Chains A and B, each alone.
Chain A
Amino acid sequence: MKKIINLKVNGDIYELAIEPWRTLLEVLRENLGFTGTKKSCGLGTCGACTVIINGSPVLACLTLAFEVEGIDILTIEGISQKGSLHPIQESFIKHGAIQCGHCTPGMIMSAKGLLDKNPHPNKDEIKKALAGNFCRCTGYKKIVEAVEAVSEGK
């Protein structure tokens, strides 16, 4: 049942033997040890497992690993290069947008997806882009402010 596939995660190619029913989230966390991508609802409702595929934020829990063979997959581990944080990460830290931190990686990936496509979104566009990400701690206010600050270069 297992088949060998090549996954391209954060620019590196991994050869894996996996079953077709494995989701990208399971493979990232269990086979490759990328536990920065968090697992929560598993049903596409919380966004904790958001990764960027081909430039667009998607849900790793509803993506079959087989379906993304050879495609560029970017996880939270891939956005902070050479030990320096991504500006969105810096902004989340500075603006108090992180509390328990469980939703944070997914939230940052969604924000990145938005800002890559639309570098200067307005507040409503930010809110809309983050609507697929569930946060129970912050009330989202400081998260939206953090993303806004990045877009304004603050």
Chain B
Amino acid sequence: MTIKPDKYSVVGKRLPRVDAAIKSTGEAKFSEDIILPGMLFAKVLRSPHAHAKILNIDTSRAEKLPGVKAILLNKDTEEIYAAPDETVLATDKVRFVGDEVAAVAAVDEDTAIEALGLIKVDYEPLPAVFDMEEALKKESPKVHEFYDDNIPDNINVSFGNVEEGFARSEYIREDRFVINPTHSCFSEHHMCVAYFDSSGKLTVWTPIQSSHFIQKNMAYNFKLPENKVRIKIQNVGGAFCGRGSDRTYHYIAALLSKKTGRPVKLRFTSDEEFLVYRGGGKYIMDFKTGVKKDGSIQAVYGNFTIDSGAYLATQFIVLRFLALNLQMLYKVNNAKCEGKLVYTNNPPYFFHHGAGMVAMRFAFGSQLDQIAQDLGIDPVEMNLKNAVTKGYTTPSKIHYASCGLSDCIKKTAKQSNWKKKYGKLPKLRGIGIGCGMIRSGGKGMFLYDTSAAFLKIQEDGTVHLFTGLPDMGQGSYTAMAQIAAETLGIRLEDIIVIAGDTEVTPLDIGAISQRGTFTTGNAVKAAALDARGQIAKLAAGKLETKPSNLIFRDGKISVKNNPEKAMNFSDAISEALNSTEGRYVMGRGFYNPPITAADPKTLEGNSSLAYSFGAQIAEVEVDPETGFVKLLKMTAAHDVGFAINPMAVEGQMEGQIFSGMGQTLYEECLMENGQVLNPSLLDYRTPRPLEIPEIESIIVESNDPYGPYGAKEVGQGPIQCTSQAIANAVSNAIGVRIKEVPITPERVLAALRSKDRDSCKP
């Protein structure tokens, strides 16, 4: 790790999280900890059929059960759509095992559960489809009548000219890669408490990444003014891209509250988590890459077939992200993407970590690695040769104002001893590299990508900082407080962060698309600068200098080059308040990257200002008898622009490497007839402490010109590299390419057998 000169006193420091103490004691409140007077408990009745017509619902017995306060059916849902293809409760048809049919609110959970058992639903089962290739056949059952095929979304986008690129290529490889469904496994389950009070105001306590989305959508759907929808995000027990938007359960709880006039809590059990989770679905990815003999990429073609499950929700962004990303990591002048989302009667999917890009990076990275092997090129060199660089503009007009990709590759290679190890490790040991990138926020969802912040300063110089950015564990409260403290020249502990409550905090698109540090960070810095400007004006008079000549640091305001001339920050604030003007210092600011969203058809345009990059090198050991793969070590470098808090950056990197290892080697939702066969933390095998690999984190600081103090994201960037690095290391260890994740012991043994067969061939 680089040792920073003391350029800064708060940012760039390994400081403990501002919320760590109350989290360590359990005092930190999660939505589940919200208990309100008169609160009711809701439960949802789910379909036992993968595909069926609802003929009749009889709630008469449930209604008579003492303690039952309301029963909700589709007809009571005010025609609200939670997503364009998804009503709040099933209308006349259910589309997956677990589809929501009715909901009950009762005085306690036991009564609500009992009531569900008293609701009688008559179904007429319909033929169902679970396999994407089956679903694409003409005669296949249609999951939604609205579409005459099962394809709710597709894409066909080209950048440059792939035909020419392939024609120019000296070596072309085509492979099919598959990734299987995975689950986000939040520690805190999906849940919410909703309360329509007597003034007609709706308050919703829920773990979510963006209070803004859900506030807007719920206001629209309930035909309420936006200020009558209050979203209160408590602490959030993990998100990993899975808590982006409002879902049916938010509406179910709100409608039940509206019906009963009482607060309603709806929380899902661990079994239900596997129905409502919307992790990543199955991806079938056909990749074709053409290169020159020196390894320079000439053209890439990717064709994606993605299981959307029974509903589309907001997955439409996935294909666009995938298409763009084909030409964002490497200097690829010709890229073409075709792809479709396919409806099936599987549970609806969404994505798990980085909008489908982990899957795509696994495929692309594996193919590139194989090409390097085929051509006898060192994979590190192959990556370096094609890596995008600072100042590069991609065919789709994405521009990199900062880029530390080559640096990341070189540093991981050096730190991992790549040169001494690649091709020289003992049998069944392997080493592999993976590279990735991701944007730091950007436009697309709305015309704006705005974050706002304000702060107020108490007479003693302590600060309340208000932002709309929730903390799901990534450490945003701390990062925002560090930025504000540095800018004001005060200590981290002088700041209290209030975040994610739409009645109190300003607009923020939310902690999505890796935008927090970059976008909200810029807003916080702007707010702090605004306050500092007001203080400087007053202090400049006292210290007999120009405001621009003042330095704010360590609780002092001093004159540049004349440190003797100084005053305490708190004195300046107090004097401002006690002056004739009686000034109370409040700072405000907002940030919106000054760019326009990419064209929705051609996808051309630079929809973000900052992009982060990374490289990882994995070392694995394979047990040839059991097929077990052990990730021994991951050396990871990530270009975060500037690490506001290196300890938090490391934490993000370690968490993502671990999670990426899980997706690559351990985790899979095993599906049968639309049911998850392993819907529990017992059988859905996320790795645990005994699987921790050695991790070496290298923070690369490319100092982004637009980022607050040069910072970019460390949200979902590091995990983009992990799968491919591990898969490439496995291939290096056993000499066979496994093109499907997770790389389970059985898949490894099958690969080893296929290799034995091949080597027996004449």
Q: Would A and B touch once assembled, by the CB under 8 A criterion?
A: yes
Q: Which residues of A contact B (CB under 8 A)?
A: 29-30, 33, 35-43, 45-46, 48, 75-77, 80, 85, 89, 92-94, 96, 98-105, 108, 124, 126-128, 130-131, 134-144
Beyond A98-B17, A124-B690, 6 additional pairs, beta carbon < 8 A: A38-B26, A80-B25, A99-B475, A131-B689, A131-B690, A134-B688
Closest chain B residue to A134, Cβ basis: B681
Question: B21 interface residue, CB < 8 Å from A?
Answer: yes
Taking the closest CB of chain B, its distance from the CB of A81, in whole angstroms, is: 11
Assess whether B24 is in contact with A136, with CB atoms less than 8 Å apart: no
- Complex contacts, B675 vs chain A, CB 8 Å: none
- Residue interface bits B651-669, CB-to-A below 8 A is 1, else 0: 1001111110000000000
Is B168 in contact with chain A by the CB < 8 A criterion? no
Give CA–CA (A82, B205) in the complex, Å: 31
Residue of chain A at shortest CB distance from B186: A136
Residue ID in chain B nearest A100 by CB atoms: B473
Task: Identify A103's interface contact among B20, B32, B187, B654, CB under 8 A.
Answer: B187
Question: Which residues of B have CB within 8 Å of A33?
Answer: 35
Tell me whether A139 and B26 are in contact (CB under 8 A): no
Residues of B within 8 A of A130 (CB): 688-689
Q: List 13 A-B contacts (CB under 8 A).
A: A40-B187, A45-B680, A92-B24, A99-B238, A100-B235, A100-B238, A100-B473, A101-B235, A102-B235, A128-B689, A136-B184, A138-B651, A139-B657
Q: Which residue of A lies closest to B683 (CB)?
A: A45
| Assembly CA distance A98 to B20 (angstroms) | 6
CA distance A39 to B188 in the complex (A): 8
Q: Once the chains are docked, how many angstroms separate the CA of A126 from the CA of B692?
A: 12
- The minimal Cβ–Cβ distance linking A114 to chain B, given in whole angstroms, is 12
* Pair A85/B25 contact, Cβ less than 8 Å: yes
B565 part of interface (Cβ distance < 8 Å): no
A38-B30, A39-B32, A126-B689 as given contacts; A141 in contact with B473, CB under 8 Å: no
Please judge, given known A-B contacts A136-B240, A139-B692, whether A99 and B655 are in contact too, CB under 8 Å: yes
In order of increasing CB-CB distance, the 9 nearest A-B pairs are A36-B26, A139-B658, A100-B473, A101-B23, A102-B237, A99-B473, A127-B689, A45-B681, A102-B187
Most buried by B among A39, A94, A128, A140: A140
Verify if B538 is at the interface (C-beta below 8 Å from A): no
Answer whether residue B564 sits at the interface, using C-beta atoms and an 8 A cutoff.
Answer: no
CB atoms of A89 and B25 under 8 A apart = yes
Cβ contacts under 8 Å, A99 to chain B: 238, 473-475, 651, 655
Q: Is the CB of A104 within 8 A of B23?
A: yes
Are A141 and B681 interface neighbours, CB within 8 A?
no
- B238 near A140 with CB under 8 A, answer no
CB neighbours of A29 from chain B (8 A): 33
Q: Are A101 and B28 in contact (CB under 8 A)?
A: yes
Contact B23 A127 (CB under 8 A): no
Please tell me if the beta carbons of B686 and A136 are within 8 angstroms of each other in the complex: yes
A139 to B188 CA separation, bound complex (whole angstroms): 16
> Is A76's CB under 8 angstroms from B25's CB?
yes
The answer to whether A141 touches B16, judged by C-beta atoms less than 8 angstroms apart, is no
B689, closest chain A residue (CB): A127
Residues of the A chain whose Cβ atoms lie less than 8 Å from the Cβ of B24: 85, 89, 92-93, 98, 101, 104-105, 108
Q: Provide the residues of chain B in CB contact with A75, threshold 8 Å.
A: 26
CB–CB A41/B680 < 8 A? yes
How far does the Cβ of B177 sit from chain A's closest Cβ, in whole Å?
A: 25
- Encoded as 1 (CB less than 8 Å from any A CB) or 0, chain B from 239 to 265 comes to 010000000000000000000000000
Tell me whether B647 is interfacial, beta carbon within 8 Å.
yes
Does A134 lie within 8 Å of B26, measured CB to CB?
Answer: no
B-to-A contact residues, CB < 8 Å: 14, 16-17, 19-21, 23-30, 32-33, 35, 184-189, 235-238, 240, 269-270, 471-475, 647-648, 650-651, 654-659, 680-682, 686, 688-690, 692, 695
B16 touches A93 (CB 8 A): yes
Question: Cβ of A139 and Cβ of B682 under 8 Å apart?
Answer: no
Provided the pairs A137-B238, A140-B658 are in contact, do residues A36 and B25 lie with their beta carbons within 8 angstroms? yes
- What separation, in Å, do the CA atoms of A80 and B27 have in the docked complex? 12
CB-defined contacts of A127 to chain B, threshold 8 Å: 689-690, 692
Q: Cα distance A86–B690 when bound, in Å?
A: 25
Q: Which residues of A contact B184 (CB under 8 A)?
A: 136
By a CB distance below 8 angstroms, the chain B residues around A80 are: 25
Complex Cα–Cα for A77 and B28 (A): 12
Docked pose: A105 CA to B35 CA in angstroms: 19
Q: Which of A100, A108, A141 meets B654, CB within 8 Å? A: A141
Q: Is the beta-carbon distance between B16 and A134 smaller than 8 angstroms?
A: no
Tell me, rounded to whole Å, the shortest Cβ–Cβ distance linking B212 to chain A: 20
Contact present for B270 and A43 (CB under 8 Å):
yes
Distance between Cα atoms of A12 and B715 in the complex (Å): 44
Would A40 and B658 count as touching, CB distance under 8 A?
no
Measured CA separation A93–B647 after assembly (Å): 11
* Cα distance, A30 to B655, chains bound together (Å): 32
A11–B702 Cα gap in the complex (Å)? 54
A40 close to B473 (CB less than 8 A):
no
B27 / chain A contacts, CB cutoff of 8 Å: 36
Complex CA distance for A105 and B26, rounded to whole angstroms: 6
Q: How far is the CB of A109 from chain B (nearest CB, A)?
A: 10
CA A33 to CA B27, docked complex, whole Å: 11
Interface centre among B23, B236, B695 (most CB of A within 10 A): B23
**Chain B: CB-nearest residue to A91:** B24
Complex: chain A residue closest to B471, CB-CB: A100
**In the complex, how many angstroms separate the beta carbon of B26 from the nearest chain A beta carbon?**
2
Could you tell me the distance between the alpha carbons of A8 and B184 in the complex, rounded to whole angstroms? 37
Residues in chain B near residue A136, CB distance under 8 A: 184-187, 238, 240, 655, 659, 686
Say whether A48 contacts B680, CB under 8 Å. Answer: no
Q: Which of B33, B188, B659 contacts A35 (CB 8 A)?
A: B33
- How far, in angstroms, from A103 to B189 measured CA to CA in the complex? 12
Which residues of A sit under 8 angstroms from B648, Cβ to Cβ? 96
Residues of A within 8 A of B21 (CB): 85, 89, 93
Contact between B654 and A143, CB atoms less than 8 A apart: no
Q: Could you tell me the distance in whole angstroms from the C-beta of A126 to the nearest C-beta in chain B?
A: 7
